Structure 1
Amino acid sequence: MPQIATDDGVALHYRFDGPEGAPVLVMSNSLGTDLSMWEPQMPALVQAFRVLRYDTRGHGQSGLPPAPYQVDRLGKDVLALMDALAIPKAMFCGLSMGGMTGMWLGVHAPQRFTKLVLCNTAAKIGTPEVWNTRIAAVEKGGMAAIVPGVIQRWFTEGFIKAQPAEVERISAQLLATRPEGYCGACGAVRDMDQRSSIAAIRTPTMVIAGTHDLATTALDGRFVAETIPGARYVEFPAAHLSNVELAADFTKTLIGFLAG
């Protein structure tokens, strides 16, 4: 199980796939998932890119530090991975919490990234009360207490009915997430507000949103795209996990931007 240790001692689990010497693409998972959330994209991506996926701290097989986390720490984790693997520059794609991490990187480490893809994300999400209620529910009832509601926000009703195997795959990732890690990451989302800072991003950026996304709305996505100078905006008729719900369209659009 390949891991690197960050400067605060947290072990980050990662996978590096694709041809040696190809351009590096770092991919960052959403809250409550692990690096395997990107499996629908991998067969196509590894034809042209060296893909670095990792489990955000508190998720998957990465370490479980005390809560709460902060978005700057999540960004520094990406830089620690890149430094440990001798990657001076890369492209970055993050969804939801991963997209928030990408915004921080675009502001604070622009010299390390050649392109940013910010998917189904927002510069600020909800109110502290919303996140504190979510944290309390998990602390009381574990991950099972929130999975049904989360799945209803992550996928459209039509997809849930048509693709039960894919919905079950993501549900299993949610259930397997350690409650302490999930709550720690909820704290990072709760405390994040990048609405002003992202105006400083100059890295070529594409923002992907979902028309039916109830977690990070299309309005949120348009705000991010309009605030980052020159950002491209793409909207899919999907809910929150657009990379799963419309995998082929998502992958084609992602590769087109990265290779263009």
Structure 2
Amino acid sequence: MHDTTFITAGDGCRIAYRLDGADDNPVLVLSNSIGTTLHMWDAQIAALTEHFCVLRYDFRGHGKSDVPPGAYSMDRLGRDVVELLDALNIGRAHFLGLSLGGFVGQWLGIHASDRIDQLILSNTSSRLGPVSEFDARIKALKTSPDMAAVAEGFLAAWFPRPMLEVMHPEVQPFRDMLLSTPPQGLAGLYAAVRDADMRRTIALIDRPTLVIAGTDDTVTLASHGEHIASTVPGARLVMMPAVHLPNIEHPKMYARTVLDFLRETEVA
């Protein structure tokens, strides 16, 4: 296990990352949702590191990474991952991205498939709108950011109501991550999502792909996962009885689903 450390991306932004597991295992990159840090995967690390060297990182604008001004782009977020792999001398890796991380996974599958072995796209979409909604959120963050209200809005969309009503212990770390997210960083990533549309280009992905969707997801709808699975050639779809974070609602089922796919396609 290694502490969080940093690389510097091509535009000078420092990106925080962490490696867990044996260095001689295949590498699995984990990519987070917006408003979280690499710690959103903490519950999966023990299971995943039995088979993989797990590489996690904080998006620019989030966690311990730098917070550049202005809008971010999906191209830039994708290149951050490629440059992270380059800096660590990792030629190819498996990739698991949830929500925004799944957007980045799609970009990598389209533009950098030579760096990806197996691809898992969880609770994500190829296009999220409307643009006006993201513009309004960005404006609010720039003029009068109320991160407490932002945090509660995210939590209500991420977790089933019973978990929120009983103050489930898994919820508080996500509230803390949201409250610590810089408004500029959140606005920058909002812009990247606002401007991304990969509904057609994901047909170019040629990597073995698993799509995970939540039956009760109100952020990236189950139908969005179905679209990705039907558009990416040969992709497989797994529906989980969850909202937006099945890795938190069903951590054992989630880890088993991920490992079954990665190890099956590896053996094959």
AA at the equivalent of 1:8: D
* Aligned residues of 2:26 and 2:51 also touching (Cα < 8 A): yes
- Name which of 234, 254, 267 aligns with 1:250: 254
1:241 aligned onto 2:245: yes
- The alpha carbon displacement at 1:46 in A equals 0.8
In structure 2, C-alpha distance between the alignment counterparts of 1:17 and 1:102, rounded to whole Å: 20
- Name which of 46, 66, 74 aligns with 1:71: 74
1:179 aligned onto 2:183: yes
Matches within 5 A, 1:1-260: 1-139=4-142, 140-162=144-166, 164-260=168-264
- SS of residue matched to 2:91: coil
- SS of residue matched to 1:250: helix
Q: Residue by residue, what CA displacement relative to the aligned partner does 1:210-258 show, whole Å, maximum 9, x if unpaired?
A: 0111000000010011000100101111111111111111111011111
- SS of residue matched to 1:164: coil
AA at the equivalent of 2:28: L
- The alpha carbon displacement at 1:108 in A equals 0.4
- The alpha carbon displacement at 1:136 in A equals 2.4
In structure 2, C-alpha distance between the alignment counterparts of 1:111 and 1:141, rounded to whole Å: 40
- Percent identity among equivalent residues? 46
Gaps of 5+ in 1: none
AA at the equivalent of 2:68: P
- SS of residue matched to 1:12: strand
* Aligned residues of 1:138 and 1:146 also touching (Cα < 8 A): no
* Aligned residues of 2:145 and 2:183 also touching (Cα < 8 A): no
* Aligned residues of 1:137 and 1:146 also touching (Cα < 8 A): no
In structure 2, C-alpha distance between the alignment counterparts of 1:3 and 1:190, rounded to whole Å: 27
- The alpha carbon displacement at 1:163 in A equals 5.7
* Aligned residues of 2:74 and 2:193 also touching (Cα < 8 A): yes
4+ aligned runs moved over 6 Å, structure 1: none
- The alpha carbon displacement at 1:19 in A equals 0.6
RMSD: 1.0
In structure 2, C-alpha distance between the alignment counterparts of 1:177 and 1:242, rounded to whole Å: 22
AA at the equivalent of 1:89: R
TM-score scaled by length of structure 2: 0.95
In structure 2, C-alpha distance between the alignment counterparts of 1:218 and 1:237, rounded to whole Å: 11
Moved more, 240-249 or 25-34: 240-249
